[in-house]
Amino acid sequence: MATKHKWKAWLYLLPALAFLAFFLVYPLFDVVIYSFEEGYNFVTQTRYGIGLYNYSYVLHDPYFLNAIKNTFIMVIITVPISTGLSLLISLGLSHIKTLRNMYQTIYFLPYVTNTLAVGLVFMILFKPTEYSDGLMNMLIHMFGGETIDFINGPYAAKMFVMCTYIIWIVMPFKILILTSALASVPEQFYDAARIDGASSFMMFRKITLPVISPSLFYLIITGFIGAFKEYSDAVALFGVNLNSAGMNTIVGYVYDMLYGDSGGYPSYASAAAIILFFIILVITLINLGISRKKVHY
Amino acid sequence: MNENIDLRKIKKDSVKRELIKKILIYTFLSIWCIIILFPFYWMILTSLKGYAEYNSEYIPKFISLEPTLDNYVTAFTLVSLGRYFLNTLIFTVVTTSLMMVVTTLAAFAFSRLDFKGKNLVFTLVLALMMIPNELVVITNYTTMVNLHLRNTFTGLILPSVTSVFYIYLLKENFEQIPESLYLAAKVDGKSDFEYLVRVMIPIAKPTMVSILILKVIECWNAYVWPRLVTDNPNYYLVSNGIQEIRENGFGRENIPAMMAAVVSISIPLIILFLIFRKQIMTGVSRSGTKG
C-alpha cells in the first residue's frame, strides 16, 4: 500500500507518545539524576556536587526508618489476612446460587468509594464523641474490655485501625479476581473426584488450588506492591501530618519531602522513592521465584 | 426392606449435612456483608443526626429519632463543597475525554496500521507499565512548578491523561475485529480515520465504555496529584476538599456535617456503579491494578 500512510501512522501515535515521553519517560531519568545531586536548591536550582549523600541522609533519617517499619508491619499484616479472607469468601460464593449476585455487588462497593471519604467514616467509628468513647469502644465494653484511644492512643491501637481499614478497602478487588478464577474450574474435575470418593478438603487441595494458583499468586504479588505503596488510606485516618501521628509510610515520606511543612527537598524525595522502588523490586522477584516453583500454569 | 431404610437414612443425613453447610456459608457471607455495609450505614445515619443530638449521646445510637437535613445545608454553605464538586466534574470530564481520544488513536495505530518499528515502540510502551507513579510524580511536580502551572486545571489534568494499560487493553480489543472489514472499507475508498470512527469504535464500544467508567472513577477519587499541584482551595477536588474539612472543619468539630459531605461525594460514584455494575466489574477484573 502507499507509503504516504506510513507517516500518518505516527500521527495517530503522536499524542500518546508525547504524553508518555513528557510525563513518564523523562521524569524517570530525571528522578535518578535528582537522587544523586547533593545539596540541590529548589529555588536557585543549584547543587554542590554528585554523590550518594541523599541516600545516606534518607537512610539515617529517623522519620524514614519509622516509615519503613510502619510500611513493613502493614504489609505483613494486611497481605496474608486480606488474601486469605478473600479466598474464604470467594469459596463461599462459589457454593451458592441464590443471592450470589447481590453479595458480589455489595462486596465490590468499597472499590468505588473515595478512600479519603470512607476513611473519615472509619475514623468516626473509632473516635470518641463528646460524652461517649465511640462505637468501637462501646463494643469493647460490651465484651468487658477497657477503653482504648484508637486515634491518639498507643501505637498498636493505631496500627490496628490502619490495618483494618486497609483490609476492608483492598478486599473487593481480590474477591472479584478469585471469584472469576474459581468459576473457571471445570465442573467435570469435581465430578470425577467425587466418583473416586475424594473429600472436600482433598478436592480443594488437589483441584481448586492448582487451578486458581496463577490468580492467587497474581493477587499476592500485586497485594505486596500495593501495600508497600500505602499512603492515601493513612492520610484518611490520621491526617496530613503522618509524622506527628507516628504513622507515616514510605510513600508518605516521599511526598512530605517533596511538599508540605517539611517539603522542598526533591533530592531526598527522589532517593527515598528509588529505595522504595528497589524494595518492591526485590520483594516481587522473591515472589516470582516462589511462584515459579508452586504455580501450575 | 432393611436396606431400603438405610438408604433413606443415608440420603436424609446427606441432605441434612448439605443444609447445615448452606446455613454456615450464608451466615459467613452475610456477616461480611454487614462489615462492608455498616460504615455506609453509619455515615448516612450520622449525617442525619443533628449536631446537638450527636454530641449529647452517652451511648452511640443506631437510629436517629429526629433526622434532619441541616447538615447537608451546612456542608454546602460553610465550606465550598459545591466548588469542589464543580472542579472535580471539570477535571473528570476533560481528563477522561482527552484520555479516550489519545488512547483510541494510539490503539488504532498499534492494532491496524503498518509502520516500521511498530513492535519495538509497542514493547517500549508496554515496559512503561512497570514504572510506579511514585517515581515520576517528583519530576512532574517540579515541572509544573517551573512552568507556573500550579493551581491551574492544565497542571491538574495533563499528567493524569495517559494510561498505558488502557492503550494495551483497547489495542487487544481492536485486533479482534476482522481484517476483512478494513480491506472492504479500503475498497469503498474510506480513509483510515473514517474506518476508525465508523467501524472500529462502534464494534469496540463495550470495552471503551469500561475504560471510560474506570477512568471516571479514578479521576473522581484522585488525591495525591491534586494535593501536590494545588494549594489554593479554588482548585481543590473533592478528595482534597474532604481532607481540608477534616483538618479545619466547619469552624468547630462538626462530625454530622462532615458525614453529610462524605455522603455527598460518595453518592455519584455509587449510583454510577449500580448502573454500570457489569462493565465496571468485568473491566476491573481484566485491568488488575487500582489507580
The larger pLDDT score, comparing residue B37 to residue B112, is at B37
Q: Is B36 helix (H, G, I), strand (E, B) or coil?
A: helix
Q: Confirm if B137 and A229 have CB atoms less than 8 A apart.
A: no
Q: Which domains does chain A have, with CATH numbers?
A: 49-294 (1.10.3720.10)
Measured between CB atoms, which of B135, B238, B284 is closest to A277?
A: B135
B33 touches chain A (CB under 8 A): yes
pLDDT of amino acid A2: 43
pLDDT at B3 over 80: no
Cβ-proximal residues to A261 (8 Å cutoff; 6+ apart), any chain:
A241
Confidence of residue B18 (pLDDT cuts 50, 70, 90): confident
B23 touches chain A (CB under 8 A): no
pLDDT of amino acid B50: 85
CA distance A176 to chain B (A): 7
Interface of B with A in 62-91 (CB under 8 A): none
Q: Compute CA distances B282 → A7, B259, B279, whole Å.
A: 36, 31, 5
Tell me which residue of A226, A284, A250 sits closest to A79, measured CA to CA: A226
Distance of CA B231 to the CA centre of its chain: 24
Say what angle helices A155-183 and A209-228 make with each other, to 10 degrees. Answer: 140
Which uninterrupted H or E stretch holds B288? none
Tell me which residue of A232, A234, A235, A227 sits closest to A280, measured CA to CA: A227
Q: Confirm if B138 and A270 have CB atoms less than 8 A apart.
A: yes
Q: Is the four-CA dihedral A151, A228, A84, A169 of positive or negative sign?
A: positive
Which uninterrupted H or E stretch holds A38? strand A37-38
Task: Please judge whether B132 and A280 are an interchain contact, meaning their C-beta atoms are less than 8 angstroms apart.
Answer: yes
Give, as one character, the DSSP assignment of residue B279: H
Q: Is A168 helix (H, G, I), strand (E, B) or coil?
A: helix
Which residue do the cell numbers 464543580 mark? B86
Which residue do the cell numbers 467508567 mark? B213
pLDDT of amino acid B80: 87
Q: Which residues in chain A are contacts of B159 at CB distance < 8 A?
A: 23
Q: What is the pLDDT of residues B157-192, one digit of tens each?
A: 999 998 888 999 899 889 988 888 888 888 888 888
B131 touches chain A (CB under 8 A): yes
Around A107, how many Cα atoms within 13 Å sit in the side-chain half-sphere? 28
Q: Which residues in chain B are contacts of A106 at CB distance < 8 A?
A: 33, 36-37
Which residue out of B104, B129, B133, B138 would a mutagenesis test of the A interface target, given it has the greatest number of A Cβ atoms within 10 Å?
B138
Q: How far apart are CA B43 and CA B74, in angstroms?
A: 16
Mean pLDDT rounded to a whole number for chain B: 88
Give, as one character, the DSSP assignment of residue A50: E
Measured between CB atoms, which of B39, B143, B238 is closest to A121?
A: B39
Write down how long chain A is.
297
Measured between CB atoms, which of B116, B143, B289 is closest to A222?
A: B289
Q: What is the pLDDT of residues B136-164, one digit of tens each?
A: 999 999 889 889 998 999 999 999 998 88
**All three cell numbers of B7:** 438408604
CA distance A233 to chain B (A): 11
Report the CATH number of the B79-248 domain.
Answer: 1.10.3720.10
Q: Which residues in chain B are contacts of A34 at CB distance < 8 A?
A: 138-139
CA distance A175 to chain B (A): 10
Measured between CB atoms, which of B56, B121, B273 is closest to A131?
A: B56
pLDDT of amino acid A4: 52
Predicted ipTM > 0.85: yes
B55 touches chain A (CB under 8 A): yes
Burial A62-79 (b: 16+ CB within 10 A, else e): ebbebbbebbeebbebbb
B246 touches chain A (CB under 8 A): yes
Write down how long chain B is.
291
B20 touches chain A (CB under 8 A): no
Burial B108-133 (b: 16+ CB within 10 A, else e): bbbbbbebeeeeebbeebeebeebbe
pLDDT at B239 over 80: yes
Task: Please judge whether B242 and A103 are an interchain contact, meaning their C-beta atoms are less than 8 angstroms apart.
Answer: no
Q: What is the mean pLDDT of residues B200-213?
A: 91
B152 touches chain A (CB under 8 A): no
Confidence of residue B27 (pLDDT cuts 50, 70, 90): very high
Which residue out of A3, A23, A261 would a mutagenesis test of the B interface target, given it has the greatest number of B Cβ atoms within 10 Å?
A23
B147 touches chain A (CB under 8 A): no
Which mean pLDDT values do the consecutive 10-residue runs of chain A (297 residues) have? 65 93 92 84 68 90 95 96 96 90 94 91 85 80 81 88 95 93 87 85 88 89 92 90 90 87 80 93 90 74
